[in-house]
Each structure stands twice: as structure tokens, then as C-alpha cells.
Chain A
Amino acid sequence: MAIARTARPPRSLSSSGFEIRRRTWPLDHVHARMPLETAAALGRVIGPEAARLAWLDTETTGLAGGTGTYVFLVGIAAVDDRDFVLTQYFLRHLSAEAEMLEVLRDDLRTFDGLVTFNGARFDLPLLQTRFLLSRIRYEFENAPHLDVMSLARRLWHRRLGGYSMGLLEQMVLHVDRFEDVPGWMIPSLYVQYLTCGNLDLLEPVFAHNAADLLSLISLHGLTGEMVTHPSEVQLPVDWSGLGRLLDQRGNCDAAAECYRTALADESDPGARRRTVTALARYYRRRRERQALLELWEAEFMPRILPAWQVSERLAMIWEWEFRVAPAALEHTERALAEDGLSTPHVSRLLRRRDRLLRKSSAQLDRPFSGSK
């Protein structure tokens, strides 16, 4: 476990059917090379907006979802005055589910924002189902929620080939889990516990849940750090994805910088086209026509995007930004010559050529038209 030291030993409040375990870390405890307090503060930049935030992760009897999947462990992490507090709600007996959920509900009500990893699709709908089945009124939909997985997908999927917590810990957070129980084993361990009652079986699961939450806090903080200081990011990251994230947050200059960085080594035609297009949009909004032109002209060289496509874009720029029809026509002709005829978009190119032919002759005629 990466948990170096704990200020207080684990403590548990045990009632008959469920159990609440608390464990705390000092605020300066370092996980993923970052003090928890710093991570929590950095994370606030990216949301959600809340006065009292909780990080939440569950362990379940299955991954399939639906009504027959029990949530047997709910970990809720939060910052209090002096400590970082993890509260784990553990279901000892399935028949005590409603009892436990009621206490959990009361606890959840003390928070006004949640952070999860894949909570939007998994943990929260599942808990919602459990509340409903136990006839307990609680609506997750009302609380602000950030699913860090959606950020992770953008920032790392293309770069790392995945965005599971395990992969991110390895490649981004640099957290090693020793003797961690693999996620797929957890449901069967719990069923084993149900039949034999030996709680020791589940100690690794409690630790797994705690480790997941610590990494969630760190990842949340890290994404906050990345959007705050994009220029200082040293980690492997999908620059295009970061750019888009920044774009969404209104930080367009930083986004543009990310797109430029991304283009330095983007060799996938689809991704490259999307990134160039995003950067082009930035230039167009700022009316930097020359930069726009240079951006697309430079795309002939790497030979990643098809030449007809680059030519077509240049034709569009000449037609609509510079309004010089003959230059646009020249690029259109070039697009058609460069294999444009065999693309499915050939009719679009032909229409453009016809229009530009008309425009060109009009532009050529114009000097004389006034002297009638």
C-alpha cells in the first residue's frame, strides 16, 4: 500500500448488519507525489462547485449493473478541519442494506458535491437503484457531480491506449500498489465472505477501495493542475484533448498552444484533421488570416492529411476569408487533380469549382462593369 502513515488507526463502528469504518490521513500526506491537501485544492479549479466536497467509490457484487447488483462497500473521502477522512460503509449482511443506506443517505446529505471515477455510468446509478429498492428517498441528480473518468478519457485515452485507474496510476500518477486485489475478484471474495463470515478475506478489498479513493483525489488534483498551468505539464498527455478541455473552459490561448504542441507529432489523419480544424477555428475567430493560411499550407508537408483535403481547406480560406476567387479556384482545381476525383466528396468539390468559376469571371468582369 502506498499509504505511508496514518495519524490514527482504523476505527470501526459496528452495528449488527453493517459497519462503518473510519480512517484518517494528515492533510500533508503525500500520494502520487502530491500532498492530499494540495490535490484537493487544485481539484477545486475543475469542479464541481461545492462548499463541501466528497470523493466517492463503491465496491459491488458485480459489474453488470441492473437491479441485482449490490453495493456492499461505499467509500466516502472528505477533508475536515485537520484531517483527510475516509468513511467506509460496509454491508455485513445483505438484509441490513436498507439500514445502511439510510445512514449513508444522511451522510451524503452533508455534502453538496461529488467526485467519482466512472460514477456517472456506474456508481451513482447503482446507488440510486439501491436507494429505490430500499424505498429511501435520495436523488443523485440534484447534486453537482464530476466524473473524473470523462476528463481522463480526453486527456489520456489516445496517448495511453486506455484510461483505467490502474493504467493511470502506472503511467501518470506513478503509484505502485503492492498486493492489490484485482477488481474482478472482488465480487467473489464478498460472496465467499457471506458464506463463511471471515472478515479477513475482505481486508484487501477495504484497502483497494481506500487506494482507489486516494488515487481519485490525486487524479482530480492533477487535472486541476493541468488546466491551471497547461504550459508546465510534463506528463504524457493527449495535447489535443487538453486543448479541447481548455477551449471549453474559455482559455483559448492556452488551448491553441496545446493544439500546436499536439501537431508536432500527430500522425493519425483523423485526429490531425480535427486538431488542425480546432486551431484554425481559433485563428478564424481572432481574424488571423495569415496564420490560418500558413497553418493549412504547412499541412502539405507532413503528408498525413490527404493533399486534396488540404487544398480544399485552402480553397475555402481563399474563397471566404480572403475573398479571392481565382486563388480559391486554383486550389480547388488542385484538389481535384490530387485524387479529389476519387473521394466521396467529389460532387462537393465540383460544386465549389462551378461556383468559383462564376465568381472568378465576375471578379474579372467587375473592373469593366462600372464603365458601361
Chain B
Amino acid sequence: MMLRQILDRLHSDPSRSSRIAAWRELPATPARFATFPAGLEPLLAKTLARRGITQLYTHQAESYDAVRGGQNIAVVTPTASGKTLCYNLPVLDHILKEPATRALYLFPTKALSADQVDELQGLIRTLERDIKTFTYDGDTPASARRAIRAAGHVVVTNPDMLHTAILPHHTKWLRLFENLRYVVIDELHQYRGVFGSHVGNVIRRLRRICRFYGSDPQFICTSATIGNPQEHAERLIGAPVHLIADSGAPRGEKVIAFINPPVLSRELGIRRDTLMEVRDLTGELIRNGIPAIVFGRSRLAAELLTTYLRDHAVHHGRAPESIQGYRAGYLPSERRAIERGLREGEIKAVAATNALELGIDIGQLSAAVLAGYPGTIASTWQQMGRAGRTEELSAAFLVATSDPLDQYIVHHPQYFFGHSPEQALINPDNLLVLSSHLKCAAFELPIGETEAYSPAGIHDILLHLQSQKIVHEDGGTWHYVADRFPAEDVSLRSASTENVVIIDETEPVPQVIGEIDLPAAPAFVHEDAIYIHLGQQYHVDRLDWDQRKAYVRRVNVDYYTDAEIAVAITVLNEDGAARDALPRAHGEVVVTYRPTIFKKLKLFTQENVGWGKITLPETTIHTTAAWWVLPPALTTFELDRLQGALTAVSHALLNIAPVYVMCDPRDLGRVYEIRSPHTALPTIYLYERAPGGVGLAERMFRLHDHLIRAAIELIEACECEAGCPSCVGPILEVGNTGKADALAVLRGGLAVPAYAPISSVPA
């Protein structure tokens, strides 16, 4: 059967069509071409022709022209629209014309940069010119670094390496900086929130070093679809950007369907398991030879799907190797092999986490199946964009879970199709972020009194750094005088880079089969866990926490394990408090993640067949939080309703806060307590996920009235009846009264003070 027939049958078979919650058909768009630009180096045109490219898509030509015209650009076009040529073309063209030209390519992850270097090098090989591209990251051997610094035309790296290894040693990169014409920032949308704010400062530092060497590079950015690509790019690089969003690449017809698994028990609101539903749907695609990608929301989901789909494939006489998994923690060589297998068609289906959401080249697949709503409109489009062919029909399915959020989305498809994707927010002028990068900037080059490092002004910060003997002012210039190497103390990402190595001891010679990041390790490789890697089960015999090693053995059992982690918050210190209608405070907290138990669940049926205790140290992050105390007067509800109200208020605050403190929703976490040990009352906490915090909590505290007012406006303006993800959260989570109760609580919190604030009294 062809994909179209499968789709038709989905429609016509009543038992299956009843599951379809939404069905959209996006018509095919023909390609729009442009001829090679007049100024294009003839050799490059010839080489492209040899690779089968005789004309450009309009957005590629537009990119080339804009870059040649001296503009910074941000290209926002779909997956597989030939985005890489938008930067490779002007960069190679310039290098061919002026061989001294240098370019810096920044990718957010190593896997991605490896992929892009391969593609670029392929193009260069066909050019038969001596153009050198190098990857400079933590894996680059010391012996090769010297050559890269002196001779690399294109240096491929990531923001972390730029921050700690390249900028603080810029004199060693003299050739690069003197001749730097282009900075390519791929996957721009990744740089949002606190991480993006850090990267924005790294780029400020990069630009001032370029100025020192007399260069002024142009920025070429690419991004997945976000709500505010141009604004985001401009904030990140601190310069005007020309937006290129009109893709000339052809698109085949595409069907998007939301699938809601049937209800098994109406009383309990239980639906058929999403993974089984996904297995059946994907199984049908696989049986018919239609290449598909399946997205699980967690690593466990991706592995279970791999297991189920392999099982299904074997049942239907297909090789289990034609089904693969893909997630963080696989060895780089495994990842490469899977990517290649997908491109070359040996692999028919892959069950992945959002690790594959990035621009990793896996060719074009006919179908994408999302096992659960990924959480944001933007990443849903990105995952669905993985299926898409230039001419033929493709399909993307979102299979809902029973989670309130998923149920909301499938019941209100217009919420998804009608809203623009989320905005990426950054605040490079966040005081803590800014001042930590000012140290690095001063280390790299003395800071002049009149230097416009940040529109926020830096004089006071420099004075403060002087009082700490970190900088010293002399002759109108601030010099770095501390003993420490500042970049090492500033981590761009809040996630720890430590990991646990997983060692298979089945054979006499133990073998490393993968790794897992430290924060996730307690849930996945605790003792007696079943760790699944590429569909193969392993029993964790021993977890050596101190050595960061997990010893596993291959097993074949009919269950998997799922760990439960309890999140708790403890207030250490109140830095500030206000006793209004809605008492609130901010201060230092410890957030504790404590692995408690694991359940043994039967494969396929999810039947609970046992459990065990996890004895591992809890992981804690020391950070800052803002919290709101709901006084008895505002919360005269019974317990269930109170819980709904707390959920609703915290959801609304979490929805609105990132806009006001300019961060990403992922930068904040929320916890609420029916009766907080600290305040002895119902309390809502919003805490910062970055260890130590970057001052977001204090800003939330100070913005209190704005925040509460904005939350009220948000809820009032929302057209939903009794709660949706955009306001207080889906009704299934907050209950029928959640929305109204939240409004009441927030309005009560804004009770007009008995006296006018001093600022409003006329002088």
C-alpha cells in the first residue's frame, strides 16, 4: 500500500476514523528557482552543477545577494530546504575570491557540527581547491590545534569552546580574527533563555575582539520556526538582521493528523496506551515500506518504541536491524551509523527523542509519528517537519497521551494550528550574566570607559568588579587583574556536562556501550534497573556513583523499569519579603531530586509486576526562587479545589513570567505545596533551574504587581472556557473551578492598597 491508501483507510475505517481528532491537508507547493547570481564565482557554479545543482531556490539566491550586499541574515525555512547552502554558498564564494577569508561556524551540539563539516568538505572536495575546514572542540587533539589556528579557512566549533578556549586566547587565533568575514550561527532557536543570554554575551565578546583586529564579520543565522526569528537574531548578535523566511524549496502534499487513542474506561478517563497506538500506526507504515520517524517524549519512550517496533517488524518477517533507536547517550559511532542508514534507506524506521529534532541530516522520510505532544508548538512543528518530501505525499501524526495538555491539544486543534510558535526570549543584559561576561571581556581586552559593550551600561558593574579586585581602572580603561581564568567559572549551560559511563560486562572483556548525563542517571541506571539501549535490554548490576560508572549485563526479560523522582524545595534564606494581600518573598533555596522507587512494568501491557527501592544520594541544586503565599482569606476551598487553584495560579505565573524576565520557560521550574513547611500555608514557588540562579527570581519578586496583573489579563483574555495551556493549564489538570478560582486568588492578591504609592503623589 502506498501512503495515500493508508491515509484513505484511516479515514474510511470507522473504528479508526473515530480516533482522528484533527485532519489537515497542506497542499503541495512547487519549487521557485532563481538562476545563479551574476557575481557567483564561476568555479563554484560549475562545481554545484557537477553535484546536480543547476539553479538555486529563491531563498538561497536571496541569502547570497543579501550577504554579498553586506547584510546579516537569518534564514528560517523548513527542514530539507537546502538551508546549509544559504551559508556555504556566500562563504565559499568569498574564500575562492579572496583566499585569506576566514569563517567561523557555530553549532549548538557536536553531533550537528560533525554532520555539517562532512557536507561542507564534500562540496570542497568537488571544488578541488585548497580550502581547509576544521572542527575545534573538546575532542580536537592538541597536536592539531596549532594548524587549525593558523590555517583553517572555516573553523567549526560550539559556543562553549568559543567562550573558554578561543576568545580568551585570541592572540593565538590572530589569522582567524584578522580575516574573519563570516560567523555562521546554525540552529539559532536553540540559543534562548539563560543559555541564549550567555551566548549573546559570547557574541558581544567575539565582536569586540574582531574590532580589535580590524574585522567586522557578517552573521549568517539559520533557525527553525519560532515566533520571533528576526527579533531574536537581532538581540543575539546585537545588530540589524535581514529575515529570509520565504522558502523557494518545493514541498509535496502533507497530511497532518491528530490521533486520540480510544477510551478504555470512561469513569477513570483511561485511554489506550499511546505507545501501543503508535506501534500499530507505525507498524502499518513499516509493513508497507514507508520510511518513518517516531518521536518519544523521553529516552525511555524512545527505547520502548524501538523494542515494540522491532518486535512488530520481526513478526512481519522483517529484519530487526531495519528499526533503530536514536537518543542522547548513544556512542557517536552508533549515531553516525544510524544517520547513514536512514539516509541510504537501509533503516526503515527510527524511534527517537528530540535529539533528532535538530538539523541532523537523515534524508527525507515519508512519515513522522509523535508519541505525545512535545510541549511546545515550535518543537511540534520541528518534529513534524522531519517528514516531508519535495514531491511526494508525506504525513505527520500526533498521537495524544492521556495527559491534560495532550488532551487539550487534540480537543482544540485550532490552538495548535492557529497560534504562531513560541517566541525565543533572551536577556543578555541580565545583571549576573552580564557581569560574569564582563569579567571575561576584560580578561580578553581592556574595557574602555566609553566602550558600548551593552546598552544597559556597565560602569556600575565595573566599579563593583574593581571593589572585588577583579578589574582595575587606569587611564580611563578597565584592566583585568585577578589571578583566575574567568571563563572557567562561567558555564553557558546550566546542565552539568558530567556523565555516567555504561559498561557491559556480559562478555569477558567489558565494553562501554553508552553514557548518560549525570542528572538523569539515578532514574535510568540505578541498581536493578533495566536499561534499554538500541532495543537491547541490560540489567544494571552495580552503579558506582563516585566513579560515575554503571555496570550492566545483557538480559532478555519481559519487563522494563520506570523510576520515580520526588522533587522538593527547601528555603534556605529569605532575601526579601513583602506582606501585601498576596505575601511573597524571594531567596535562596535548595531543590532536591530524590529517586524513590522504581516500578517493574510488563512490556506491551504496562502491567505492574513489582517494584524496588532506589538507594542513591539525592541530587540537589542550590538556586534562587520566588514564592507566593496564599493567605487563608483567599483560599477557603476544600483540598481538591485548592490543589486545582494552586496548579492554575502557578501555571498562569509560569506562562507569564518568562515574558517579563526574558527567559525561556525551561529556565524556570515550579513547585507548589498545600502546606509549606516554610510558610505554613499554601505556597507556590517558581525556581531557577540554573544552579545559583541568575537573578530571575528576584526580578519576578520585584515585578510582582506587573506579573499578577499580566496573569489576570492573560486569564481574562483567554477565550477558553475553563482552562487551557495558554492560561491556567488544561481543565483536566485544574478542574472545573480552576480558572475562576485562579482569577479570584490573583485579583485578591492585587487588592488596592489603602494609600496611594508615593510615586503617584503629585509633587
Contact = CB atoms under 8 A, between A and B. Distances in A.
Contact of A94 (B174, B472, B484): B472
A133 B168 CA distance: 12
A66 B476 CA distance: 23
Interface stretch (B437-445, B528-536, B675-683, B747-755): B437-445
A62 B477 contact: no
B483 A70 contact: no
B480 interface: yes
A61 B444 CA distance: 14
A143 B172 CA distance: 19
B472 A133 contact: no
A95 B481 contact: no
Nearest to A93: B474
B469 A132 contact: no
B479 A94 contact: yes
Contacts of B485: 62, 64-66, 68
B169 interface: yes
Interface string A53-71: 0000000011111111010
Given A94-B472, A191-B469, A67 B170 contact: yes
A195 B469 contact: yes
A129 B472 contact: no
Interface in B451-478: 469, 472, 474-477
A194 interface: yes
Interface string B640-681: 000000000000000000000000000000000000000000
Given A94-B472, A95-B474, A132-B171, A194 B443 contact: no
B472 A62 contact: no
Interface in B477-507: 477, 479-486
B174 A95 contact: no
A195 B480 CA distance: 13
Contacts of A194: 472, 474, 481
Nearest to A63: B483
Contacts of B481: 61, 70, 94, 187, 190-191, 194
B443 A68 contact: yes
A267 interface: no
Interface residues of A, number: 22
Contact of B442 (A68, A132, A190): A68
A128 interface: yes
A188 interface: yes
A67 B483 contact: no
A16 to B, nearest CB: 10
A270 B234 CA distance: 60
A191 B171 contact: no
B168 A68 contact: yes
Question: Which of A64, A68, A188, A195 has most chain B Cβ within 10 Å?
Answer: A68
A237 to B, nearest CB: 30
A15 to B, nearest CB: 14
B480 A132 contact: no
Nearest to B488: A64
B168 A67 contact: yes
Contacts of B168: 66-68
Nearest to A125: B172
Contact of B444 (A64, A67, A132, A188): A67
Given A62-B483, A194-B481, A67 B472 contact: no
Contacts of A132: 171, 174
A67 B484 contact: no
Given A132-B174, A133-B171, A133-B445, A64 B472 contact: no
B719 to A, nearest CB: 55
Interface SS of B by simple majority: mixed
Nearest to B443: A68
A63 B485 CA distance: 9
A59 B314 CA distance: 71
B473 to A, nearest CB: 9
Contacts of B476: 95
- A interface, over-half SS: helix
Contacts of A129: 171-172
A188 B443 contact: no
Question: Counting chain B CB atoms within 10 Å of each CB, which of A67, A129, A187 scores highest?
Answer: A67
Looking at chain B, what size class is its interface with the partner chain? 20 to 34
B150 to A, nearest CB: 12
B472 A191 contact: yes
Interface string A166-202: 0000000000000000000001101100110000000
B448 to A, nearest CB: 11
Nearest to A61: B481
Interface in B165-180: 168-172, 174
Nearest to A132: B171
Contacts of B444: 67-68
Contacts of A63: 483
A94 B485 CA distance: 19
Contacts of A133: 171, 445
Nearest to B446: A94
A129 B480 CA distance: 15
Nearest to A184: B483
Nearest to B485: A64
Interface in A111-149: 128-129, 132-133
A311 B362 CA distance: 56
Contacts of B483: 61-64, 187-188
B445 A195 contact: no
B151 to A, nearest CB: 16
A40 to B, nearest CB: 33
Nearest to A66: B168
Q: Which of B172, B481, B482, B485 has the most CB of A within 10 A?
A: B481
A75 to B, nearest CB: 20
Contacts of B172: 129
A141 to B, nearest CB: 12
Contacts of A95: 474-477, 479
A104 to B, nearest CB: 17
A342 to B, nearest CB: 14
Contacts of B169: 65-67
B469 A66 contact: no
Nearest to A64: B485
Nearest to B470: A191
Contacts of B479: 70, 94-95
Contacts of A70: 479, 481
Nearest to B481: A191
A18 to B, nearest CB: 12
Nearest to A194: B472
A62 B439 CA distance: 15
A95 B483 CA distance: 19
A95 B448 CA distance: 11
A288 B483 CA distance: 57
Contacts of A61: 480-483
Contacts of A93: 474-475
Interface in A58-112: 61-68, 70, 93-95
A357 B306 CA distance: 54
B217 to A, nearest CB: 19
Interface centre among A62, A63, A94, A129 (most CB of B within 10 A): A94
B477 A66 contact: no
Contacts of B474: 93-95, 194
Given A95-B477, A128-B171, A66 B472 contact: no
Contacts of A187: 481, 483
Contacts of A66: 168-169, 443, 485
Contacts of A188: 469, 483
Contacts of A195: 469, 472
Nearest 8 A-B pairs (CB), nearest first? Answer: A68-B443, A95-B475, A64-B485, A68-B480, A66-B168, A94-B479, A62-B483, A129-B171
16 contacts: A61-B481, A62-B484, A63-B483, A64-B483, A66-B169, A67-B168, A68-B168, A68-B443, A70-B479, A94-B475, A94-B477, A95-B479, A133-B445, A188-B469, A191-B469, A191-B472
Given A65-B485, A95-B479, 5 more contacts: A61-B482, A61-B483, A66-B443, A67-B443, A94-B474
